[in-house]
Amino acid sequence: MTKRQLRSNFEPGTSRWAVRRAQWRALGLTDEDMEKPKIAIVNTSSELSICFSHLDQVSARVKEAVRAAGGIPFEIRTIAPSDFIISAGRAATYILPSRDLITNDIEVAVEGAQLDGMICLASCDKTTPGQIMAAARIDLPTLVALCGYQASGQYRNHHMDIEEVFLHAGHHAAGKLSFEELKEMSENAIRSPGVCSGMGTANSMHSVCEALGMALPGGAPVRAMSDRMMDYVDRAGSRIVDMVWEDLRPRKILTPGAFRNAAATVLAVSGSINTIKHLQAIAVEAGLDVDVYRMFEELSGEVPILAAVRPIGPNSIEEFEDAGGARGIMKRLEPIIDREALTVTGRTWGEELEDVGIADPEVIRPLDRPFAHKPGIVLLRGSLAPDGAIAKVGLRGPGRPMSFDGPARVFDNSPSAEAALKERVVKPGEVLVLRGMGVRGGPGMGGASRLVFALDGAGLGPDVAVVTDGQLSGLVNVGLVVGEVKPEAFTGGPLGLVKDGDRITIDVDGRSIELHVPQAELAIRREAFVEKPLSAEKGWLSLYGSTVTPLEKGATLVAR
C-alpha cells in the first residue's frame, strides 16, 4: 500500500515538531513511532451508567489492534450521556444537547492535535450520532466500533429488561403495581454491560451507523463483550490504520444514497424516531443538502416492516442478531437500497452483500412476506404541525388507535401533566397536549415518555392521544403518541396557540394532524403570543438554546 504524507507529521525543526516530539517522547514514543499513523480512540467510558462501564476494556483491546496494524493509538475521553441517568436533571433537557457536546469535544481533541484517524466507541443513544457528526464535520478517516447491548434478566419466569422497568414505573405511578414489584423488576432487568436491549434508540442508531457505511458490516447488533464483539473490535483496530493510508474519509461514504440506506433500515425494523433528527444532523455536518424527513416520508410507502424486535414485536434483540442483524436487513432490502454506496471496508454495499444469508427467515422476513406492509413510523403534517410531526405506531395491533378526534387538554410542562393525571383531570377522549418541550423551549428538548407510560399505567393509553413538541424514548410503543411537532410551541408554532377545548384530529393513515380553530382566531392568538425568555439563564443549556437550529435542520448549533 502506498504511504501518503500524514498530517500528524510536522516539518522537522519547526516549533510544532519540537514541542510535539518532546511531549510524545516523554510518553514513551520513539522516533519510529512518530512516523506512524496517529489514531484517536474516542472513549465514552463512565461509571455513571452500565451502558459505558465496559468501554475501558474495549479501548484497551482496540489500542492493541491499532499497534499491531502499525498505528499509534491515543485514547480521547468525551462525556458519556446515558438517557436514563442524565434525564434526572432539568426535566431531561440535557439529553439531546449532550450529542452536540460530544461532537465539539471530539473536534477540539482530534482536530486540534491534527491526528490522522479515529475509532469511536459507540454505546448509548447520543454517542453514536455525536461521533458520526464529528466525523462528518472534520472529515477524517473514521470507523465507529459498536460496543454491544446488555443481557436482559428474568422476573417471576418472565423476560425482564429496562423497557419493562420504564413501562412499569408508569404503572406504579398509576397505582397498578406495588413498589416491591417495581423494585424487584429493577433488580433483575440488566445482566451485563451495554446499551438497552431491544430496538430502542441505541440499537437503532447502531443499525443506522452500519447502514450508513460507517461501521464494519456485521456488527449491529452484538452482545456486549462477547467473543464476536471482541473479534469485531480487533478488526476495527486493524482496519482504521489502512483507512488512513487509503485516505478513506467520511464524506466519501456519507452520500445521499447512504442516508437513503439508513432510512430504509430504520423503517424496516420500525426503529426509534430519534434516528431521524440524528440523521438530519449528520447530513448537515457532512455538508449535504438532504432532507431526511422527506426521505422517510417517501420511503415509508416502499419499505415494509421486516423485523419485529421489542418493543414493537415479540422477538428479542438476541434473536435479531443471530438471524443476521442490520446486515441481514440490508440484504432483504437489496432491491431498494443504493448498492453502490461505500462502507468503511472500501467496498460497496453490493459487494458486501454478495454472500450474506439470513439465518432465520421468521425473524428477518423477505420483502414479499413482511410483518406489516404499512409503516410503523409515520410523518404527519397539517395545520397543527406545518413542518411535520412523527407518530410511531409499530405493528398496529388490535386496540391501537390509528385516528383520534377530541378536545385538547393543554399542559406547559411534564410535572403539571403528571399531576393532572394523578388527580384524574385528564379524561378519555381528550388529546393531551404537552408543549414547551422543543429544542429551544426546553431548552434542549424535554422527554414525554414518562407521561406516556403513566397514561398506559392508568389504563388511558388507547383513550387519550398525546401530542408534544418533545422527544420520545425509542422504547415508547404504546397508545397514539405524536412527537416532535414542528414548529415548536416556544417559537410561536401552532402548538403554542392551542387552548383547552380546541378540537384536534389525528389521522395516521391520512398522515395528517389538524387543529380545528378558525384562521381569524389563530391570527388573534398569534398577535398576542409573546416568546418567553429561555428557561436556562446560564450554563450549557443556555448556550444550546441560543444557538440551536430547528429540528428540521437537525437541531445542530450555529452562531446567531
Report the percentage of the chain scoring pLDDT > 70. 99
Residue 514: φ, ψ to 5°:
-120, 140
Residue 297 has pLDDT above 60, yes or no: yes
Q: For the segment 4-25, what is each residue's pLDDT rounded down to a tens digit?
A: 889 999 999 999 999 999 999 9
Q: For the segment 220-235, what is each residue's pLDDT rounded down to a tens digit?
A: 999 999 999 999 999 9
Residue 398 has pLDDT above 90, yes or no: no
- The answer to whether the pTM exceeds 0.75 is yes
Contacts 24+ apart (CB under 8 A), 492-495: 492/526, 492/529, 492/531, 493/385, 493/386, 493/387, 493/469, 494/383, 494/384, 494/385, 494/386, 494/522, 495/384, 495/385, 495/433, 495/435, 495/467, 495/469
Q: For the segment 493-533, what is each residue's pLDDT rounded down to a tens digit?
A: 999 999 999 999 999 999 999 999 999 999 999 999 998 88
* Separation of first and last alpha carbons in the chain: 46
Binning pLDDT at 50, 70 and 90, where does residue 560 land? low
Q: How far apart are CA 267 and CA 302, in angstroms?
A: 9
pLDDT at 413: 92
Binning pLDDT at 50, 70 and 90, where does residue 399 land? confident
Q: Amino acid letter at 185?
A: M
DSSP letter assigned to residue 516: E
Residue 171 has pLDDT above 90, yes or no: no
CA–chain centroid gap for 505, Å, is 29
Residues taking part in catalysis: 473
Residue 435 has pLDDT above 60, yes or no: yes
- Mean per-residue pLDDT, 391-407: 93
Buried b (16+ CB within 10 A) or exposed e, 439-456: bbbbbbbbbbbbbbbbbb
Q: How far apart are CA 399 and CA 461, in angstroms?
A: 10
pLDDT at 167: 86
Residue 536 has pLDDT above 90, yes or no: no
Tell me which residue of 215, 198, 209 sits closest to 159, measured CA to CA: 198
pLDDT at 126: 96
C-alpha cell at 331: 440484504
CA angle centred on 276, ends 266 and 489, rounded to 5°: 140
Q: Amino acid letter at 356?
A: V
Tell me which residue of 504, 337, 489 sits closest to 431, measured CA to CA: 504
- Mean per-residue pLDDT, 381-386: 98
Binning pLDDT at 50, 70 and 90, where does residue 474 land? confident
Decide if 144 contacts 209 (C-beta within 8 A): yes
Decide if 59 contacts 41 (C-beta within 8 A): yes
* Mean model confidence pLDDT for the chain: 95
Q: Beta-carbon neighbour count of residue 57 at 10 Å? A: 15
CA–chain centroid gap for 247, Å, is 28
User: Which helix (H) or strand (E) is 401 found in, with range?
Assistant: none
Q: For the segment 195-254, what is each residue's pLDDT rounded down to a tens digit?
A: 999 999 999 999 999 999 999 999 999 999 999 999 999 999 999 999 999 999 999 999
Residue 2 has pLDDT above 70, yes or no: no
- Mean per-residue pLDDT, 256-269: 98
Residue 3 has pLDDT above 80, yes or no: no
Q: How far apart are CA 234 and CA 64, in angstroms?
A: 8
Q: Amino acid letter at 383?
A: S
CA–chain centroid gap for 98, Å, is 12
Q: How far apart are CA 411 and CA 239, in angstroms?
A: 51
pLDDT at 397: 84
- Which residues are registered as beta bridge partners of 118? 40, 142
C-alpha cell at 284: 448537515
Task: DSSP for 326-387, please give it.
Answer: HHHHHHHTTTTS-TT-B-TTSSBHHHHTTT---S-TTTS--TTS-SBSS-SEEEEEETTEEE
- Mean per-residue pLDDT, 146-158: 94
Buried b (16+ CB within 10 A) or exposed e, 70-101: ebbbbbbebbbbbbbbbbeebbbbbbbbbbbb
Strands 38-43, 117-122: parallel, antiparallel or unpaired by DSSP?
parallel
